[in-house]
Amino acid sequence: MDSQEHRCREYAKSKGFEVEQVFPDSFTGGGDFTLRPAMMALLNYIDAHPHRKYVVIFDDLSRLARDIIAHVKLRDAFRLRGVGVLCANFNFDDSPEGEFFENMIASRNQYDRKANRRQVIQKQKARLESGYWPFYPPPGYKAEKDPIHGKLLKSTDKASMIKEAFEGFATNRFKDQVDVLRFLKENNFQDGKPVYLETVSRMLLRVIYAGYIEYPQWEVARREGHHEAIISLDIFEKVQDKLNGNARCFTRKDTRPDFPLRGPVVCASCGHSFTASWSTGRTKRHPYYRCNQPSCPIKNKSIRKELIESQFGVLLARAKAKDQVIDYATALFLKEWGERMVNQNKISTEKEKKLFAIIEEKNSLIQRITKVTDTVAKEFEKRIEELSKQEAIVSDQITNPAIKGISFETALEAVLAYIKNPSDKWENGVLNDKRLVLKLVFTGKISYDYENGFGTANYSLPIKAFELLATSKSQGVEMARIELASAVANQ
């Protein structure tokens, strides 16, 4: 602090010393002094001038070290270098009595530091238990003063991006965490700063985005927070289920936008996915797809990128649905959706019954927990915590039902845009658009023959349903309506 430096300079002036160098130390807390950059810079500076006689001046004994062991070691480090130490608020005395008093003050400083830390933790834990986040706000939130709650998390302009990332990952729009990372980068999530895969992993694990607070390190179980939720708890739990089923995630080159068919397209000769790369020619680089399987008949035979991707465009064009079929399908979708909205009240009633049963079981366990052995009590506590999570999920489903009419038509229009003209989305869309085209149009891998190109593709349920609509009579149309409704529920 400027005031501390001023006091040290005035003290040096009163002693007739010339101030040669200042080392501001912003490091807080106790511990090893070698971890303090400014302190190590000071010692290195002294070591770089072995023939100079120095005195180190600091404002208060607590500024030297706030840990008794670190204090003693640091004093020894100065003695070893023949450096004197002076303090504006303390007179050093090398006598046994002076050393004893100095160590007492250092011990008191250590106690003050630990007591302050304990007090801070107690206050922070109390805030957590009350449903508030006392630490630095996570991405997507900022801390603002509230007349009722004190400091409260408020969503920022990044909230919509986080919501899209969670929902996209939960619904497999983003296949893995690498897709989420790419989405955040494309939308400048960190305002020009780099975004790492670790950022995505931490974000997807934070229940705070669902409006809840928990901190297992301090045994603070999950509870509803006072801040605004960015996502629903149901979406958060779906993300956790997906993470638990496929926790490991690697960045692969085949997800690069310059080779969108790397992975989805397989070799007709051996059934393995094509790889792709850029080859360096005499004057420029050329992109190729190829099969690298050692036993494959076409091993290392290159296929020009523009050839295979243009042929793929022709394949997509075959999947284009007619406008009148799209219009009829839209009407069927909306009719099905209207029927589901009518049934929403029945679903809500069932959810309320489930919630009542959960609460009843939890209360029963709470009443019995004091009458059982410690071993059984621990099992009760685990079950109570599990029931509390289920209660929160079902309550969230009642408050925020999965079926909401306000956004369905917009969402349907967005999905049908891919079905109407998938080749246009493929040619003009970004990588995420292209991957969504693959998911909507095809059931799985697409076979490519080196000599004959793409064969007959296995189209997905939505595409087959549209074909059925185009060719069916009354009975067939009714079956298509059912299949289409199922497609909506599963997409």
Q: Tell whether 423 and 296 lie within a shared domain.
A: yes
User: Which tokens is 71 given?
Assistant: 């204090």
What percent of the chain stands above pLDDT 90? 25
Q: Tell whether 307 and 421 lie within a shared domain.
A: yes
Task: Report d(CA 109, CA 168) in Å as an integer.
Answer: 52
Q: Which of 127, 158, 185 is the last residue of a domain?
A: 127
Q: pLDDT band for position 48 (50/70/90)?
A: very high
DSSP-assigned states of every residue in 258-282: T-TTBTTEEETTT-PBPEEEEEE-S
Q: Tell whether 95 and 181 lie within a shared domain.
A: no
Q: Which of 224, 251, 278 is the last residue of a domain?
A: 251
Which among 78, 208, 35 is positioned nearest to 136, based on CA atoms?
208
* Higher pLDDT, residue 188 or 351: 188
User: What are the start-end ranges of the E strands in 320-394?
Assistant: none
- Whichever domain contains 59, its CATH number is 3.40.50.1390
Residue 146 in domain: yes
> What is the pLDDT at residue 368?
85
* Higher pLDDT, residue 38 or 474: 38
- DSSP β-bridge partners for residue 215: 220
Q: Tell whether 295 and 443 lie within a shared domain.
A: yes
- Whichever domain contains 154, its CATH number is 3.90.1750.20
The pair phi, psi for residue 90, each rounded to 5°, is -150, 135
Instruction: Give the sheet arrangement for strand 265-267, strand by strand.
Output: 265-267, 446-449, 453-454
Q: Tell whether 315 and 456 lie within a shared domain.
A: yes
Work out the mean pLDDT of the chain and round it to a whole number: 81
Q: pLDDT band for position 195 (50/70/90)?
A: confident
Tell whether the model's pLDDT for residue 402 goes beyond 60: no
Contact assessment for residue 462 and residue 455, using Cβ atoms and an 8 Å cutoff: no
> What is the pLDDT at residue 461?
53
For the segment 254-267, the average pLDDT, to the nearest whole number, is: 78
Which among 177, 158, 156 is positioned nearest to 239, based on CA atoms?
177
User: Which pairs count as long-range contacts for 169-173, CB under 8 Å and 24+ apart, including other chains?
Assistant: 169/204, 169/239, 169/242, 170/235, 170/238, 170/239, 170/242, 171/491, 172/439, 173/432, 173/436
Residue 355 in domain: no
The model's pLDDT over 87-134, given as tens digits with 9 standing for 90+, comes to 877 888 778 887 888 888 888 888 888 888 899 899 999 999 999 999
Q: Which of 202, 235, 251 is the last residue of a domain?
A: 251
Q: Tell whether 456 and 310 lie within a shared domain.
A: yes
Task: Report d(CA 201, CA 251) in Å as an integer.
Answer: 13
Residue 385 in domain: no
For the segment 477-489, the average pLDDT, to the nearest whole number, is: 46
The model's pLDDT over 360-397, given as tens digits with 9 standing for 90+, comes to 888 888 888 888 888 888 888 888 888 888 888 888 77
Tell whether the model's pLDDT for residue 151 goes beyond 50: yes
Q: pLDDT band for position 253 (50/70/90)?
A: very low
Residue 352 in domain: no
Q: Tell whether 180 and 73 lie within a shared domain.
A: no
Residue 34 in domain: yes
Neighbours of 190 (CB within 10 A): 13
The model's pLDDT over 276-301, given as tens digits with 9 standing for 90+, comes to 888 887 788 899 999 988 889 998 88
Q: Quote the number of domains for the chain.
A: 3
* Higher pLDDT, residue 334 or 234: 234
Q: Tell whether 153 and 241 lie within a shared domain.
A: yes
DSSP-assigned states of every residue in 412-473: HHHHHHHHH-HHHHHHHS-HHHHHHHHHHHBSS-EEEETTTEE----B-HHHHHHHHHHH--
Q: pLDDT band for position 411 (50/70/90)?
A: low
User: Which tokens is 163 given?
Assistant: 């919501």
Task: Report d(CA 148, CA 129) in Å as an integer.
Answer: 17
Strands 453-454 and 141-146: unpaired
The model's pLDDT over 460-471, given as tens digits with 9 standing for 90+, comes to 655 655 655 555
Q: Tell whether 242 and 273 lie within a shared domain.
A: no
Question: Which are the contacts of 194, defined by CB distance < 8 A and separation ≥ 6?
Answer: none
Q: Classify residue 125 as left (phi > 0), alpha (psi -120 to 50) or beta.
A: alpha
> What is the pLDDT at residue 249?
44
Structural domain boundaries, residue 479: 258-324+410-490
The model's pLDDT over 65-92, given as tens digits with 9 standing for 90+, comes to 778 888 888 888 998 999 988 887 788 8
Q: Tell whether 199 and 316 lie within a shared domain.
A: no
User: Which tokens is 222 given?
Assistant: 């999950």
Residue 472 in domain: yes
Rg over CA atoms, the chain = 33
Q: pLDDT band for position 446 (50/70/90)?
A: confident
Q: pLDDT band for position 247 (50/70/90)?
A: very low
The pair phi, psi for residue 95, each rounded to 5°, is -70, 160
Q: Tell whether 224 and 89 lie within a shared domain.
A: no
Q: pLDDT band for position 475 (50/70/90)?
A: very low
Q: Tell whether 290 and 433 lie within a shared domain.
A: yes
For the segment 207-220, the average pLDDT, to the nearest whole number, is: 92
Q: pLDDT band for position 248 (50/70/90)?
A: very low
Residue 359 in domain: no
Residue 418 in domain: yes
CA distance to 36, 158, 169, 227, 261, per residue, from 163 (Å): 40, 9, 10, 15, 28
> What is the pLDDT at residue 439?
74
